[in-house]
Structure 1
Amino acid sequence: MPNDSPTPAAESAFALRSALKQNQAQMAQDKLFEKFGQQLFVSGWSTELLQWLLDEICLQFGAQHGLISQQHGGALKILAQRGKSFPVGARIPMLGALGQWLKEPVRFEVHAQYVPSLWTLPTTVEANIHCYQLPIACQQRAVGLLALITGNPLSQNSLQILYSLCGMLGFALYGQAQASSVIDDSYMQKLTPREREVFALLPSGASNALLAAKLGISPGTVKIHIERILSKLDLNDRTQAAVKAVEAGFKSDGL
């Protein structure tokens, strides 16, 4: 009876090919980090550079979908995208898990939870996808988020490369924001994550009962949150709070 098991020589050749393939991937990823750093040094931050970086990340790490976003007024503004994410310029409210992940001081960790608000994928998501969300921060201050969806899990080494890239992105985007004064969301830091959720929904004009149903809390608790929002932001009434929320990028169709 023939023996179909691989010979030692075949196993050795397979192991060698696998090692070479892993080595080539590692060199490519290291080169990506080096080239991105050089471009930042020579030319500085630009949306074109971010799109190039995201495209390279998706290609090298096998991500079908990806985005780079920047925190802006309590929302994440898409700066670069690939696959089934929202278009560049779209704003995603920092609600639920997003608000928790970017709560300051930001923790240096990767989050594997699937967040539907980041993507335009169908409601039913295949079970074999792998989600990675890495905070972009500078000195533990939230700057944005890098999010990827891959078909295969990423190695610890690949995640370390992404961590390093997020660190460079944090310094670049934070410096750009400070220089241009485009982003001024310091008042949002006065609000708790739950208060931010209520604040983001105020432009809808919904009643306390509807807001409560949306957030899974009682109308009385919603009322308390709104009173605290008005006090913390030095606003006179709910209408002023709704206007400020619109200025921050939250839309009237938040419900």
Structure 2
Amino acid sequence: MAAELRSAFEHGTLVLTLGNPEHANALVPEMCSAGVEVFSSAGSNADVHTIILTGAGADFCSGLAPHRWPVRGREERGPDVDTIDRLHDWIEAIHTCPIPVLAAIEGTAAGAGCTLALACDLIVAASNSTFSARDTHAADSPNGGASWFLGRSLPRQLAAELLLDGATISAERLQLLGLVNRVCEPAEALRNALDWAAALAQTPTDELAAAKELLASAPDHGLTQHLALERERLLRGRRA
């Protein structure tokens, strides 16, 4: 079966499933391109209140597909560079999406799979799931924004442990570190994410979008400037 990004719509929630289970849902360029397209359109679709990203079968995503990864010393790197560019476009599309994006994690989330999860707003992970900043299929260096997300979310020494050591970290430990929101029983991540998405859908989408916008911009502003932005956004919502 060809690798693909599958989509289903359930009560206002768009469920996107990484479909390459024979290879632990490793990413190929077509999946990344499809992800960019879906997120670009979903953000302006009034029927979509939330998005869930999950994986088919026992794993979330093991990273970039091995035959797509750049090899040291190889002169012809065109297709592999294209894959990385498409992945980065997808990561940005997830991170800037105006509606809430949840990751439902089972099994392995490694390398690009880990950063796909980190790009989401909320993470629900099975208790037996594991995370690693390093691709299962080996990589030259962090990819998909791993160093950016971890550097902004964790103290430097903890981020360095994940990036330099390449260790596999349990969902429970990442919850203690604040990177995973909820830990659930194995095989229950998607159901728990759907329940959470249904609860979020009770809040108007413009309010959720405002909260995401302000949260994303907070690190770039001092308190006085950010208070002015909150005031402006609140008044804009009342005028709408």
TM over 0.5: no
Q: TM-score, normalised by structure 1?
A: 0.23
TM normalised by structure 2 equals 0.24
